[in-house]
A and B are shown apart, each in its own frame.
Chain A
Protein backbone atom coordinates (compact mmCIF):
# COMPACT_ATOMS: atom_id res chain seq x y z
CA UNK A 1 0.00 0.00 0.00
CA UNK A 2 1.34 3.43 -0.92
CA UNK A 3 1.39 4.89 2.59
CA UNK A 4 2.98 8.14 3.72
CA UNK A 5 3.41 9.44 7.26
CA UNK A 6 3.26 13.10 8.20
CA UNK A 7 2.92 15.00 11.47
CA UNK A 8 -0.67 15.97 12.17
CA UNK A 9 0.12 19.64 12.66
CA UNK A 10 2.89 22.20 12.62
CA UNK A 11 3.18 25.86 13.45
CA UNK A 12 5.34 28.55 11.94
CA UNK A 13 5.86 32.25 12.32
CA UNK A 14 5.20 34.50 9.39
CA UNK A 15 8.21 35.13 7.13
CA UNK A 16 10.17 32.25 8.63
CA UNK A 17 11.08 29.05 6.74
CA UNK A 18 8.97 25.96 7.25
CA UNK A 19 10.15 22.39 6.78
CA UNK A 20 7.34 19.87 6.41
CA UNK A 21 8.53 16.27 6.69
CA UNK A 22 7.11 13.13 5.10
CA UNK A 23 8.09 9.50 5.42
CA UNK A 24 7.39 7.18 2.49
CA UNK A 25 9.43 4.09 3.25
CA UNK A 26 7.42 1.82 0.90
CA UNK A 27 7.88 3.95 -2.20
CA UNK A 28 8.97 2.10 -5.33
CA UNK A 29 11.93 3.17 -7.43
CA UNK A 30 9.86 4.70 -10.21
CA UNK A 31 7.18 6.38 -8.14
CA UNK A 32 7.16 10.15 -7.89
CA UNK A 33 6.59 11.99 -4.63
CA UNK A 34 3.88 14.61 -4.89
CA UNK A 35 2.92 17.41 -2.53
CA UNK A 36 -0.45 19.13 -2.54
CA UNK A 37 -2.04 21.62 -0.22
CA UNK A 38 -5.62 22.40 0.57
CA UNK A 39 -6.61 25.84 1.74
CA UNK A 40 -9.81 26.18 3.77
CA UNK A 41 -12.95 25.60 1.70
CA UNK A 42 -10.97 24.93 -1.48
CA UNK A 43 -9.94 21.92 -3.52
CA UNK A 44 -6.37 20.61 -3.25
CA UNK A 45 -3.69 22.53 -5.11
CA UNK A 46 -0.56 21.02 -6.64
CA UNK A 47 2.61 22.26 -4.99
CA UNK A 48 5.57 20.27 -6.28
CA UNK A 49 6.73 16.79 -7.20
CA UNK A 50 10.00 14.95 -7.66
CA UNK A 51 11.65 11.58 -8.15
CA UNK A 52 15.22 11.66 -6.87
CA UNK A 53 16.76 15.09 -7.21
CA UNK A 54 15.79 18.09 -5.17
CA UNK A 55 13.29 20.31 -6.94
CA UNK A 56 12.50 24.00 -6.78
CA UNK A 57 9.58 26.00 -8.12
CA UNK A 58 7.96 29.31 -7.40
CA UNK A 59 5.94 27.88 -4.53
CA UNK A 60 8.39 25.71 -2.66
CA UNK A 61 11.40 23.41 -2.67
CA UNK A 62 11.38 19.66 -2.29
CA UNK A 63 14.31 17.90 -0.68
CA UNK A 64 14.35 14.14 -1.26
CA UNK A 65 16.47 11.83 0.86
CA UNK A 66 19.09 9.81 -0.94
CA UNK A 67 17.30 6.54 -0.11
CA UNK A 68 13.97 8.16 -1.15
CA UNK A 69 12.28 6.99 2.01
CA UNK A 70 11.57 10.51 3.13
CA UNK A 71 11.23 14.00 1.79
CA UNK A 72 10.81 17.52 3.08
CA UNK A 73 8.73 20.32 1.63
CA UNK A 74 10.35 23.66 2.26
CA UNK A 75 8.47 26.94 2.27
CA UNK A 76 11.22 29.51 2.34
CA UNK A 77 9.20 32.35 3.86
CA UNK A 78 5.84 31.37 5.23
CA UNK A 79 2.97 33.79 4.75
CA UNK A 80 -0.47 33.78 6.32
CA UNK A 81 -1.81 32.52 2.98
CA UNK A 82 0.31 29.39 3.33
CA UNK A 83 -1.89 28.17 6.18
CA UNK A 84 -3.35 24.95 4.82
CA UNK A 85 -3.30 21.18 5.07
CA UNK A 86 -0.26 19.82 3.23
CA UNK A 87 -0.37 16.34 1.75
CA UNK A 88 2.56 14.17 0.69
CA UNK A 89 1.55 11.26 -1.54
CA UNK A 90 2.90 8.67 -3.94
CA UNK A 91 1.97 9.46 -7.53
CA UNK A 92 1.11 5.81 -8.14
CA UNK A 93 -2.17 5.41 -6.36
CA UNK A 94 -2.66 9.02 -5.36
CA UNK A 95 -4.03 7.99 -1.97
CA UNK A 96 -4.18 10.89 0.45
CA UNK A 97 -3.51 10.56 4.15
CA UNK A 98 -4.52 13.05 6.82
CA UNK A 99 -1.75 15.48 5.89
CA UNK A 100 -0.12 18.16 8.05
CA UNK A 101 -2.16 21.15 9.11
CA UNK A 102 0.16 24.16 8.97
CA UNK A 103 -0.68 27.17 11.09
CA UNK A 104 1.15 30.41 10.37
CA UNK A 105 1.28 32.96 13.16
CA UNK A 106 1.65 36.66 12.42
Chain B
Protein backbone atom coordinates (compact mmCIF):
# COMPACT_ATOMS: atom_id res chain seq x y z
CA UNK B 1 0.00 0.00 0.00
CA UNK B 2 0.90 3.63 -0.16
CA UNK B 3 1.17 4.15 3.57
CA UNK B 4 1.86 2.41 6.86
CA UNK B 5 -1.09 0.21 7.73
CA UNK B 6 -1.98 -0.74 11.28
CA UNK B 7 -4.61 -3.17 12.43
CA UNK B 8 -6.92 -3.28 14.15
CA UNK B 9 -7.73 0.41 14.32
CA UNK B 10 -9.53 -0.13 17.61
CA UNK B 11 -9.26 -2.95 20.12
CA UNK B 12 -11.17 -3.39 23.36
CA UNK B 13 -9.93 -6.21 25.54
CA UNK B 14 -10.49 -7.48 29.03
CA UNK B 15 -7.83 -7.09 31.66
CA UNK B 16 -5.56 -10.11 31.70
CA UNK B 17 -6.05 -11.03 28.05
CA UNK B 18 -3.27 -11.03 25.46
CA UNK B 19 -3.45 -8.77 22.40
CA UNK B 20 -1.55 -8.58 19.12
CA UNK B 21 -1.19 -5.37 17.17
CA UNK B 22 -0.04 -5.46 13.57
CA UNK B 23 1.97 -3.02 11.48
CA UNK B 24 2.48 -3.25 7.73
CA UNK B 25 5.23 -0.78 6.81
CA UNK B 26 5.70 0.81 3.42
CA UNK B 27 7.24 -1.69 1.01
CA UNK B 28 11.02 -1.47 1.02
CA UNK B 29 11.27 0.41 4.29
CA UNK B 30 13.87 -1.29 6.45
CA UNK B 31 13.48 0.79 9.60
CA UNK B 32 10.43 0.36 11.82
CA UNK B 33 9.49 1.93 15.17
CA UNK B 34 6.73 1.27 17.65
CA UNK B 35 5.49 4.01 19.98
CA UNK B 36 2.61 4.36 22.36
CA UNK B 37 0.73 7.51 23.24
CA UNK B 38 -1.47 7.72 26.29
CA UNK B 39 -4.32 10.22 26.29
CA UNK B 40 -2.98 13.77 26.27
CA UNK B 41 0.62 12.60 26.47
CA UNK B 42 3.61 12.54 24.12
CA UNK B 43 4.97 9.62 22.15
CA UNK B 44 6.75 6.95 24.18
CA UNK B 45 9.37 4.94 22.29
CA UNK B 46 8.89 1.18 22.58
CA UNK B 47 11.09 -0.69 20.10
CA UNK B 48 13.11 -0.15 16.91
CA UNK B 49 13.88 -2.58 14.07
CA UNK B 50 16.52 -1.88 11.41
CA UNK B 51 16.95 -4.49 8.71
CA UNK B 52 18.41 -7.71 10.05
CA UNK B 53 20.07 -6.07 13.04
CA UNK B 54 19.07 -6.94 16.59
CA UNK B 55 16.15 -4.71 17.60
CA UNK B 56 16.51 -1.92 20.14
CA UNK B 57 14.09 -3.04 22.84
CA UNK B 58 15.13 -0.47 25.40
CA UNK B 59 11.73 1.23 25.46
CA UNK B 60 9.59 -1.78 26.25
CA UNK B 61 7.98 -1.01 29.63
CA UNK B 62 7.85 -4.57 30.96
CA UNK B 63 8.39 -8.18 29.96
CA UNK B 64 4.69 -8.38 29.09
CA UNK B 65 5.54 -6.46 25.94
CA UNK B 66 7.29 -8.05 22.98
CA UNK B 67 7.56 -7.42 19.27
CA UNK B 68 8.82 -9.22 16.24
CA UNK B 69 9.33 -8.40 12.62
CA UNK B 70 9.09 -11.26 10.18
CA UNK B 71 10.94 -11.19 6.89
CA UNK B 72 11.94 -7.59 7.43
CA UNK B 73 8.42 -6.43 6.72
CA UNK B 74 5.34 -6.92 8.87
CA UNK B 75 5.73 -6.35 12.60
CA UNK B 76 3.58 -7.56 15.47
CA UNK B 77 3.51 -6.00 18.93
CA UNK B 78 2.23 -8.40 21.57
CA UNK B 79 1.03 -7.40 25.01
CA UNK B 80 0.47 -10.26 27.41
CA UNK B 81 -1.82 -10.14 30.42
CA UNK B 82 -3.03 -6.65 29.58
CA UNK B 83 -3.51 -4.11 32.32
CA UNK B 84 -5.64 -0.98 32.35
CA UNK B 85 -2.53 1.20 32.19
CA UNK B 86 -1.76 -0.36 28.81
CA UNK B 87 -4.69 1.57 27.35
CA UNK B 88 -3.24 3.94 24.75
CA UNK B 89 -2.82 4.51 21.04
CA UNK B 90 -0.03 2.34 19.65
CA UNK B 91 1.71 3.89 16.65
CA UNK B 92 4.04 2.35 14.10
CA UNK B 93 6.40 4.27 11.79
CA UNK B 94 8.70 3.16 8.98
CA UNK B 95 11.46 4.62 6.83
CA UNK B 96 14.20 3.73 4.40
CA UNK B 97 17.53 2.99 6.04
CA UNK B 98 19.93 5.86 6.18
CA UNK B 99 17.66 8.75 6.73
CA UNK B 100 14.62 10.33 5.30
CA UNK B 101 11.38 11.06 7.01
CA UNK B 102 9.39 8.45 8.86
CA UNK B 103 5.83 7.71 7.86
CA UNK B 104 3.44 6.95 10.70
CA UNK B 105 0.41 4.74 10.62
CA UNK B 106 -2.92 5.86 12.03
CA UNK B 107 -2.40 3.76 15.12
CA UNK B 108 -4.31 1.17 17.09
CA UNK B 109 -6.40 2.48 19.96
CA UNK B 110 -6.23 -0.13 22.72
CA UNK B 111 -8.70 -0.01 25.56
CA UNK B 112 -8.32 -2.44 28.44
CA UNK B 113 -11.48 -2.81 30.52
Q: Decide: B42 and A98 in contact? CB cutoff 8 A.
A: yes
Q: Are B42 and A91 in contact (CB under 8 A)?
A: no
A85 to B42, CA, bound (A): 9
B71 CB–A CB distance under 8 Å: no
Which of B12-20, B61-69, B95-103 is near enough to bind chain A? B95-103
18 of the cross-chain contacts (CB-CB < 8 Å) are A34-B101, A43-B91, A43-B104, A43-B107, A44-B43, A44-B104, A46-B101, A46-B103, A49-B99, A87-B42, A93-B45, A94-B33, A94-B45, A94-B102, A95-B45, A96-B45, A97-B42, A98-B42
| Tally of chain A residues near chain B (CB < 8 A) | 20
Q: Does B105 contact A (CB under 8 A)?
A: yes
Determine if A96 and B99 form an interchain contact, defined as CB atoms under 8 angstroms apart. no
For B99, give its contact among A42, A45, A91 (CB under 8 Å): A91
Query: For window 76-113 of chain B, which residues contact chain A by CB distance below 8 Å?
Result: 91, 93, 99-107
Chain A residues whose CB sits within 8 angstroms of the CB of B103 once the complex forms = 46
Known: A34-B102, A44-B104. 14 other contacts (CB 8 A): A32-B99, A43-B105, A44-B91, A46-B102, A48-B101, A49-B100, A87-B42, A93-B45, A94-B45, A94-B102, A96-B43, A96-B45, A97-B42, A98-B42
Q: A44-B93, A94-B33 are in contact. Are A99 and B102 (CB under 8 A)?
A: no
Residues of B within 8 A of A47 (CB): 101
Q: Which residues on B are within 8 Å of A, measured CB to CB?
A: 33, 35, 42-43, 45, 48, 91, 93, 99-107
Provide the residues of chain B in CB contact with A94, threshold 8 Å. 33, 45, 48, 93, 102
A49 touches B101 (CB 8 A): yes
- On chain B, the residues within 8 Å of A91 by CB distance are 99
Residues of A within 8 A of B104 (CB): 36, 43-46
